[in-house]
A = this chain, B = another copy of it.
Amino acid sequence: MEYLKDKALLEAFGNNLRRLRKEKGFTQEKLAFEIGIEISQISRIERGILNTSVSTANAISKALKVPIRELFDFDRDRLS
């Protein structure tokens, strides 16, 4: 059961982040500054190439003022 590095999941998470960030009117720069990480980190998360941590996901959700579960709310069937 090797689904640890799940590319589809990271891409879906990245798409969710980009969508929510834009809905809230944040640039990558503003979001990165708000939570104290590099812009490149936001960019790599959004492109699905960085496997970020639970606490970074939480910091993102707090900055965007969305419940953290919304970052993980994607079509389960499409992924499995």
Chain A residues within 8 Å of B, Cβ to Cβ? 1-6, 9-10, 13, 34-37, 51-59, 62-63, 67-73, 76, 80
Contact = CB atoms under 8 A, between A and B. Distances in A.
A73 B66 CA distance: 12
Q: For chain A, what secondary structure do more than half of its interface residues adopt (helix, strand, loop), or is it mixed? A: helix
A56 B71 CA distance: 15
Given A4-B35, A37-B4, A68-B72, A51 B55 contact: yes
B5 A55 contact: yes
Contacts of A67: 72, 76
A14 B56 CA distance: 16
Contacts of A73: 69
